[in-house]
Structure 1
Amino acid sequence: MRNLCMTVSFDGTAYNGFQTQPGGNTIQDHIEEAIRLLTGETVKIHGSGRTDAGVHARSQVFHFHTSSAIPVERWCLALNARLPDDIIVTSAREVPLSFHSRRSAKRKTYRYTINANQFPDVFQRRYQVHHPGKLDIPAMQQGLEYLIGTHDYTSFASRHSTKTSHVRTIYNARIEVDTSMSRAGTRDQGVLHTYITGNGFLQHMVRIIMGTLIQVGEGKRSPEDMLRILQAQDRSAAGPTAVSQGLMLWSVEYDELDDKS
């Protein structure tokens, strides 16, 4: 028996999330079917975590056990030939049987993208949330910094979360502003990429953080409110859940693997 670890990129627009759901049409469903078509095996893949419907991934990691003797270097092309065009397996490697994509993960980074220019980008509209109103970006960055550290993030977790503990660690959180598509002399503010890196994330956690942070940018909340919301440990204290299209699983890191996936 072999344990194969793979990295997949996908546009989540048309799918019901990564993990298998009763309604079907998930990334996991399509990958498992591609493996079945390739090897004849019915396998269950295990992802580094689940993503919601409409959320994208630059680098999602999954593993599965197989009896297939197909050389590891042939798996990517073989699976991609059997997958939809918006799901692409980008790397494959053989790992010890003890490796688990979720339990072995040490750090994950999500990116959330807001287009703060006056007009939406027709080419990036699936991967950005358009916000034409003025945002106070320094206030948003200040508010974000209150969330760094080890805390109970109940306020930023879905009410439907089934985790026994909501304590997580955020190692880094920052906003990068790309003004390359902004027009000089206008009220364009650029494209805001918010990167949040942690040891794990709760259901809807990044989207609730972003929904609340947008309110800070709009002047509806102060940066210091982020700390008060965090300390409240009450979902009703935070803002709305931001829409899924702006969210992307950016990277997953492991101690056992030589490179970042």
Structure 2
Amino acid sequence: MATPLTLFDEDDMTEAPLLPHVRVRMTVAYDGTRFHGFAVNPGVPTVGGRLTEALERFLRHPIELTCAGRTDKGVHAHGQVVDFVTTEGVDLDGLCRAVNALCGPEVAVREPAIVPMAFSSRFDATSRTYRYTIHNDEVPDPFSVHRAWQVKEPLELDVLRLACDPLIGTHDFTSFCRRPKRSDGTEASLVREVRSARWEVVDDQTLRFWIQASSFCHQMVRSVVGTLVDVGRGKLTAGDIRGILAAEDRRAAGTVAPPEGLTLWHVGYPD
């Protein structure tokens, strides 16, 4: 049974009649080039801020937007997932059209659906898949400058692929993560389960790295890619990856890859 939602009149903020409410889930794609990440940050352009403004304009009431993963500044998404609460009977197709008109083409929503009130796009996710694109050529590509990392030195594909093997499984990824600060002074666990990690050849100048895990810690994918590129350049060996993991020391890994090549591609859920 739907639970009442208290709404307020925008002019005098007096309480309006109680209405049943529902939770809506949507898939979001965005070009993160001009955004300072996803999380709402007053005074700074963010994907979450842009989306919230558009949704509230259509729905005519405040919302609290939850996402599957807070991407950093400059990072893109193809399959980000968000959820929020609104009134029962909302026109989902009209909502998508309105949001896309207000936010497009940099931000676009699709696949709206009513989900159980207990659903959380963040905590119910069982997997997240990221894609990282590299333009491997001495000559820059103007058409991928905001979508790929240009690596001028030739990369050894066979060695890159060998270096993926030690990453798969459950490990402490302290060497590849920025440790989050907690208000209570405790340290968060950086143990993660990587289910797959592989390289794909797109064409003579383009490589893509795909990685899927139950979840990721801050800057984990970019740190892994930066270290793997050092392997491909010959600065490290594929065997060094296991030792870097075991070190549990951020200084043991390579440089963090730039954000423009990274895309949150897909978020998995139980059903």
TM-score by length of 2: 0.88
Residue in 2 that maps onto 1:41: 61
Judging changes above 3 Å, is the alpha-carbon distance between structure 1 residues 225 and 161 closer, same or farther for their aligned structure 2 residues? Answer: farther
**Percent identity of equivalent pairs:** 37
Distance in 1, matches of 2:230 and 2:179, equals 20
2:134 pairs with one of 114, 118, 121:
114
* Runs of 5+ consecutive residues of structure 2 not aligned to the other structure: 1-20
> What does residue 219 of structure 1 align with?
234
| Aligned positions, number | 247
What are structure 1's unaligned runs of at least 5 residues? 183-189, 257-261
Which structure has the greater CA radius of gyration? 2
Q: Secondary structure at the match of 2:200?
A: strand
- 1:170 partnered with 2:194: yes
- Corresponding position: 1:204 with 2:224: no
> 1:159 touches 1:235 (CA, 8 Å); kept in 2?
no
For 2:138 and 2:93, how far apart are their aligned partners in 1? Answer: 46
Given the alignment of the two structures, is residue 132 of structure 1 paired with residue 152 of structure 2, yes or no? yes
Counterpart amino acid of residue 136 in structure 1: E
1:27 and 2:42 matched = no
Deviation of 1:210 (Å): 0.7
Local SS of the residue matching 2:246: helix
Residue identity opposite 2:65 in structure 1: I
The reply to whether residue 143 of structure 1 matches residue 163 of structure 2 is yes
Q: Which amino acid letter does the alignment assign opposite residue 221 of structure 1? A: L
**Counterpart residue type for residue 146 of structure 1:** P
Quick check: 1:11–1:56 contact (8 Å CA) kept in 2?
A: yes
Contact 2:173/2:191, CA 8 A, preserved across alignment: yes
Q: 2:102 & 2:85 partners in 1: Cα distance?
A: 19
Q: Tell me which residue corresponds to 1:185.
A: none
Partner Cα distance (1:243, 1:218) in 2: 17
Alpha-carbon displacement from aligned partner over 1:160-217 (angstroms, at most 9, x marks no partner): 46561111100000000112xx3xxxxxxx2110000000000000000011111111
1:16-44 CA-partner distances (Å, limit 9, x unpaired)? 00112355211000011001111111111
Determine the structure 2 residue equivalent to 1:91: 111
1:217, 1:11 → 2: CA distance? Answer: 28
Q: CA deviation at 1:237?
A: 0.6
Q: Which amino acid aligns with 1:212?
A: T
CA distance in 2, matches of 1:7, 1:109: 14
**1:164 partner amino acid:** A
Question: Is the CA contact 2:180–2:188 (under 8 Å) kept in the aligned structure 1?
Answer: no
Structure 1 residue 71: deviation in Å?
A: 2.1
Contact 2:26/2:112, CA 8 A, preserved across alignment: yes
Between 205-214 and 70-79, the greater mean CA deviation after superposition: 70-79
Tell me the SS of whatever aligns to 1:240. coil
Residue identity matched to 2:202: D
Cα offset, 1:72, TM superposition? 2.1
For 2:231, the aligned partner's letter is V
Please tell me the root mean square deviation across aligned C-alpha atoms, in Å.
Answer: 1.4
Q: Which moved more, 1:162-171 or 1:228-237?
A: 162-171
Q: CA deviation at 1:120?
A: 2.4
